[in-house]
């Protein structure tokens, strides 16, 4: 039996609490009265995942069973979420592998010859062969990859994109040609957080820049309150318009999955427990890990974290018509992540961990840290933001100005040139986005190397636009002063210093809320 | 390197302070409704009732606990003659206000009774860690009982059947304000089920000397009194539900007797006017205030002096 999430009020009995900060964590003593939002405990995992997959495919929502949709001579395309989810990557076998194997078994039985598999990475970097293999498994990889039938989506391959049409709001819908011209497109998703899935899968995962720019812009992001709440997210409204149009154009069979909150494997599982419930073993593990991290050189520390594989349990598999499936998926996500919070606070505290969607097997640079903190974590609410308008956000992360040149080449220029000029999302969008999006060198690296698209750092900045618009102050505890200053924020050494720095805005005894994630949570703020 | 060592020391300090090493861990108040009931591990205690443990306990109690106890409080015992009217095993049923209650009762008993007396102790409190379990079983001859249900190595019935006396606190926990709470029916049920007499025990002053939350008795050798009452036996066909109020009344009457005299208490009992041991319905602070006063030394009781006065 897993306990629901709840809001702790820090009192004299509260031990120091874990706060993630990049490749490490600290124990923080919060001021008395601080509200700490704890996510629900991990839901029980399905005991027989393969059985659940079979059931979902044979009894889909709002669709005929999958075997009846498969026939000899058809063009079948299977698209799947890329490496950006789940976080951390899950232990093998990946749920996508299990589903794709089940789908391919049915396709083989039906005599389908023309099958292609596409990693729906939109403007994300191309996955390496090893990363593709990790997701789909050895059997699928060996059967399709050598023939070139398992590949990454290329949003810059003009010959392999199809402009399907315009929505009623004049938004271009342009996606992967193979997918658009298939008799059946099957999309396999991992719905890690509430913003994933639904019509965000095909119209975004398989889209081109021309299509993405309609919703990935500062105006849409500022008006999405929040993008974890699809009802109030302009990003999702746009994706839904595109998805409905695509659904009229081609047959899409969506398969969505949800995971529980088992994010950290042993011996890091103490990070999932509520601190006052730590036993002697948990305390010893924590001390050992802290000392190990302090002793380890940077490379080893990086490896310790990035080699983590989450022992996720699967909590749901649903298949069929996209919207019917997504309603069930969202209910599962909410069951695992939703916590009721009463009222807004003056200060929101967030610990930014080592990993976000765009630095798997890579480095979390300052822009990605901002996206993770002010983008994803800030937006982890429903109703209204956890912090009041004009309040302050305090984030924990080292914010080192380290960049992975292979994965994030345009980020370096964005950091050095664009942010040096302005940090206003609307200004940089108007002035610089087009040039970065169409730069031939960045396009070349995106298509042939493993680089994120030239426009990607802009999108990261837009994710944070709502937070930047909403709050008055942003302070990074433990952040590199130069890097933080470059992004227009301030750095502090300790929480006490940070609170002192924001006291001019929120007063000397502000109400404080700390979101204790990971694992993921959504604050349902009343 | 120095920084690393210092970081390690700081971490250990923070953890020892935050997680209260050596003390019982606490749950933040707002987290209490969301906490799981503690599952107590099953601790076998049969060893503590065997000869080697008995020998060790005798030394610990006589050479250590008794002088220590007397150095911290000033006990006064009455009613031991009641034990001449019964034969072991019996149930000693007492009010519960302090951790001093158990040593007070045990050390008040004649040695031949004390050596065959065990104490029922909350499994989730005294048996939550191995060292606390071993310590309390060895020194006080405790065995665990479950307040919330669960599995046990020995039941109170087993202990009684082995011929051991049993100290039971039917309130289930220490009083928060020193007054007597409601009695659960476990002791009465045991008496009915195993046909053993109950010896009511009432004590006063332990709350004033060492209330809940205090780890050591207050300085000044505060007086504590303990009074044993006449044994009670369930009558033919009497159920535990009927017997339990009689036990509580007996303890209440003993407390009344301890405050006044046996005769006055008898007269009040006959007139059905025994003061309610649960105390007056007044503000919480007044209830605590009343109980922080130690019982007056019994008149006629000779004060021990180091030097005789001329």
DSSP state of B127: S
Rounded to 10°, the helix A129-136/A95-109 angle is: 70
Whether the per-residue pLDDT at B4 is higher than 80: the answer is no
- Which residue among A8, A16, A283 sits closest to B28, beta carbon to beta carbon? A8
CB within 8 Å: B31 and A283 = no
Residue B269: strand, helix, or coil: helix
Q: Are residues A276 and B30, on separate chains, in Cβ contact within 8 Å?
A: no
Beta carbons of A27 and B15 less than 8 Å apart:
yes
pLDDT at B122: 86
Q: Do B19 and A15 touch (CB under 8 A)?
A: yes
Q: Cα–Cα distances in Å, from B181 out to A331, A382, A461, B58, B184?
A: 47, 46, 63, 33, 9
CA dist A219 and A216 (Å) reads 9
CA nearest B22 in A: which residue? A280
Nearest CA in chain B to A17: B18
Which of B4, B15, B28 comes nearest A14 by C-beta?
A: B28
Q: What's the burial of A174, exposed, middle or buried (CB within 10 Å: 0-12/13-18/19+)? A: buried
pLDDT in tens, A405-426: 999 999 999 999 999 999 999 9
Q: What does DSSP assign to residue A478? A: T
Binary contact (A7, B4; C-beta < 8 A): no
Q: Alpha-carbon torsion A64, A252, A232, A452, what sign?
A: positive
Phi–psi pair at B118, nearest 5 degrees: -110, 165
A290 touches chain B (CB under 8 A): yes
Q: Which of B76, B86, B255 is nearest to B165 (CA)?
A: B86
What percent of chain B has a predicted confidence (pLDDT) above 70? 91
Closest CB to A276: pick one of B8, B15, B31.
B31
Quick check: B36 and A27 CB within 8 A?
no
Chain B contact set for A19 (CB, 8 A): none
B16 to chain A, closest Cα gap in Å: 9
Contacts of B28 in chain A (CB under 8 A): 8-11, 13-14, 276
Q: Nearest 5°: phi and psi at B101?
A: -60, -45
Give, in order, the Cα–Cα distances in Å from A409 to each of A153, A370, A404: 20, 17, 7
Q: Is the pLDDT of residue B148 over 90?
A: no
Containing H/E element for B24?
Answer: none
**Residue A151 at interface with chain B, using a CB cutoff of 8 Å:** no
Using the beta-carbon criterion (under 8 Å), do B28 and A277 form an inter-chain contact? no
pLDDT at A489: 98
Q: What SS3 string covers A455-472? A: CHHHHHHHHCHHHHHHCC
A115 Cα to chain B: minimum distance (Å): 51
Q: Hey, how many other C-beta atoms are within 10 angstroms of the C-beta on B219?
A: 8
Q: What digits encode the pLDDT tens for the residues A247-274?
A: 999 999 999 999 999 999 999 999 999 9
In chain B, which residues have their Cβ closer than 8 Å to the Cβ of A290? 7, 11
Q: What is the value of pTM for the model shown?
A: 0.80
pLDDT given for residue B3 in this prediction: 76
Chain-wide mean pLDDT for chain A?
96
Mean pLDDT of chain B: 88
Q: Between these two residues, B219 and B155, which has the higher pLDDT value?
A: B219
Over residues B254-281, mean pLDDT: 91
Comparing CB atoms, the residue among A8, A27, A295 nearest residue B31 is: A8
Query: Does position B150 have pLDDT exceeding 60, yes or no?
Result: no
Q: Which residue has the higher pLDDT, B39 or A152?
A: A152
B12: chain A residues, CB-CB within 8 Å: 287
Please check whether residue A328 touches B, CB under 8 A: no
Return the pLDDT at B149: 52
Query: Cβ of A289 under 8 Å from any chain B Cβ?
Result: no
The DSSP string of A75-91 is EEEEEEE-TTSSSSPBP
pLDDT beneath 50: ranges in chain A: none
In the three-class reduction of DSSP (H, G, I as helix; E, B as strand; rest coil), residue B92 is classed as: strand
**What is the distance in angstroms between the Cα of A257 and the nearest Cα belonging to chain B?**
29
Q: Interface pTM (ipTM) of the complex?
A: 0.87
- Model pLDDT, residue A4: 95
Whether B29 sits inside 8 A of A13 (CB atoms) is: yes
Spatial strand order of the sheet with B73-78 comes to B73-78, B222-228, B198-204, B91-94, B165-168, B117-122, B142-145
Q: What angle do CA B100, B103, B108 make, to 5 degrees?
A: 120
- Helix B130-140 / helix B51-59 crossing angle, nearest 10 deg: 80
Least confident of A248-262, B10-24, B101-115, B198-212: B10-24
Whether residues A13 and B35 touch (CB distance < 8 A) is answered with no
CA distance B212 to chain A (A): 17
Alpha carbon of B155 to those of B46, B161, B165, B186: distances in Å? 11, 10, 13, 12
Q: Pick the residue of B9, B12, B15, B23 with the most A CBs within 10 A to test the interface with A by mutation.
A: B15
Question: End-to-end alpha-carbon separation of chain B, Å?
Answer: 71
Q: Which residues of B touch A4 (CB under 8 A)?
A: 34
Q: Closest to A15 (Cβ–Cβ): which among B8, B12, B18?
A: B18
Question: Do A230 and A194 contact (CB within 8 A), yes or no?
Answer: yes
pLDDT number for residue A493:
97
Q: Say what the pLDDT of residue B77 is.
A: 94
Distance from CA of B11 to the nearest CA of A (A): 7
Q: Give the mutation candidate from B3, B31, B33 for the A interface (greatest A CB count, under 10 A).
A: B31
Q: Is A294 on the interface with B (CB under 8 A)?
A: yes
Largest CA distance in chain B: 80
- Is A276 part of the contact surface with chain B (CB cutoff 8 Å)? yes
d(C-alpha B204, C-alpha B293), whole Å: 10
C-alpha distance from residue A344 to each of A375, A490, A525 (Å): 18, 23, 7
Neighbouring-strand partners of residue A243: none
């Amino acid at each position: 039996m897993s306990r629901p999430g709840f809001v702790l009020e820090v009192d004299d009995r509260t031990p120091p609490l874990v706060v993630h900060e990049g490749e490490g964590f600290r124990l923080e003593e919060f001021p008395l009265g601080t509200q700490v939002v704890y996510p629900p405990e991990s839901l029980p995992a399905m005991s027989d995942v393969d059985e659940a997959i079979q059931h979902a495919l044979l009894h889909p929502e709002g669709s005929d069973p999958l075997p009846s949709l498969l026939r000899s001579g058809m063009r079948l395309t299977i698209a799947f979420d890329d490496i950006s989810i789940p976080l951390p990557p899950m232990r093998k076998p990946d749920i996508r592998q299990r589903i794709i194997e089940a789908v391919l078994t049915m396709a083989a039985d039906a005599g389908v010859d023309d099958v292609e598999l596409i990693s729906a990475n939109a403007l994300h970097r191309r996955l390496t062969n090893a990363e593709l293999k990790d997701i789909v498994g050895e059997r699928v990889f060996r059967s399709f990859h050598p023939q070139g039938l398992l590949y990454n989506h290329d949003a810059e391959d003009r010959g392999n994109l199809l402009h399907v049409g315009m929505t009623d709001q004049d938004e271009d819908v342009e996606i992967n040609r193979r997918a658009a011209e298939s008799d059946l497109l099957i999309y396999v998703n991992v719905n890690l957080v509430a913003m994933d899935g639904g019509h965000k899968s095909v119209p975004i995962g398989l889209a081109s820049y021309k299509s993405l720019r309609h919703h990935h812009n500062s105006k849409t992001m500022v008006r999405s309150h929040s993008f974890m709440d699809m009802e109030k997210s302009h990003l999702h409204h746009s994706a839904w318009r595109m998805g409905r149009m695509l659904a009229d154009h081609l047959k899409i069979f969506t398969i969505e999955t949800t995971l529980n909150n088992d994010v950290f494997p042993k011996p890091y599982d103490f990070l999932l427990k509520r601190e006052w419930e730590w036993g002697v073993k948990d305390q010893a593990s924590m001390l050992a890990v802290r000392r190990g991290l302090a002793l380890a050189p940077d490379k080893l520390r990086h490896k310790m974290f990035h080699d983590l594989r989450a022992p996720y349990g699967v909590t749901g598999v649903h298949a069929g018509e996209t919207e019917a499936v997504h309603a069930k998926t969202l209910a599962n996500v909410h069951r695992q992540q939703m916590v009721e919070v009463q009222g807004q606070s003056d200060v929101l505290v967030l610990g930014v961990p080592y990993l976000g969607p765009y630095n798997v097997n890579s480095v979390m640079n300052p822009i990605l840290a901002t996206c993770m903190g002010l983008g994803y974590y800030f937006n982890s609410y429903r109703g209204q933001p956890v912090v009041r308008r004009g309040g302050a956000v305090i984030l924990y992360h080292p914010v080192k100005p380290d960049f992975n040149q292979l994965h994030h080449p345009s980020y370096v220029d964005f950091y050095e040139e664009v942010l040096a000029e302005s940090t206003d999302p609307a200004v940089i969008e108007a002035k610089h986005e087009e040039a970065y999006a169409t730069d031939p060198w960045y396009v070349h690296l995106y298509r042939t190397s493993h680089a994120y698209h030239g426009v990607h750092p802009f999108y990261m900045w837009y994710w944070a636009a709502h937070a930047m618009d909403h709050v008055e102050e942003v302070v990074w505890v433990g952040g590199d002063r130069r890097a933080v200053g470059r992004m227009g924020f301030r750095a502090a050494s300790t929480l006490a210093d940070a609170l002192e720095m924001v006291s001019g805005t929120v007063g000397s005894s502000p109400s404080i809320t700390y979101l204790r994630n990971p694992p993921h949570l959504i604050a349902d703020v009343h | 390197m120095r920084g690393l060592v210092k970081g390690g020391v700081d971490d250990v300090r923070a953890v020892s302070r935050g997680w209260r090493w050596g003390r019982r861990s606490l749950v933040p108040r707002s987290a209490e409704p969301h906490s799981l009931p503690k599952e107590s591990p099953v601790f076998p205690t049969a060893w503590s009732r065997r000869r080697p443990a008995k020998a060790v306990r005798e030394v610990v109690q006589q050479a250590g606990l008794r002088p220590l106890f007397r150095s911290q409080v000033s006990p006064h015992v009455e009613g031991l003659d009641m034990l001449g009217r019964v034969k072991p095993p019996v149930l000693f049923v007492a009010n519960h206000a302090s951790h001093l209650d158990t040593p007070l009762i045990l050390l008040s008993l004649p040695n031949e009774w004390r050596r065959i007396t065990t104490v029922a102790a909350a499994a989730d409190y005294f048996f939550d860690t191995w060292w606390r379990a071993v310590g309390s079983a060895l020194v006080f001859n405790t065995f665990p009982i479950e307040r919330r249900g669960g599995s046990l190595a020995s039941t109170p019935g087993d202990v009684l059947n082995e011929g051991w006396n049993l100290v039971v606190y039917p309130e289930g926990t220490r009083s928060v304000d020193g007054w007597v709470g409601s009695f659960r029916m476990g002791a009465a049920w045991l008496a009915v089920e195993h046909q053993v007499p109950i010896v009511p025990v009432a004590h006063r002053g332990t709350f004033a000397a060492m209330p809940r939350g205090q780890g050591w008795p207050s300085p000044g050798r505060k007086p504590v009194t303990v009074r044993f009452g006449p044994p009670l036996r369930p009558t033919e066909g009497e159920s535990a539900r009927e017997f339990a109020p009689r036990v509580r009344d007996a303890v209440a009457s003993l407390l009344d007797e301890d405050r006044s005299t046996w005769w006055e208490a008898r007269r009040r009992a006959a007139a059905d006017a025994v003061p309610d041991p649960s105390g007056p319905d007044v503000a919480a602070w007044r209830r605590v205030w009343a109980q922080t006063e130690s019982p007056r030394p019994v008149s006629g009781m000779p004060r021990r002096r180091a030097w005789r006065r001329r």
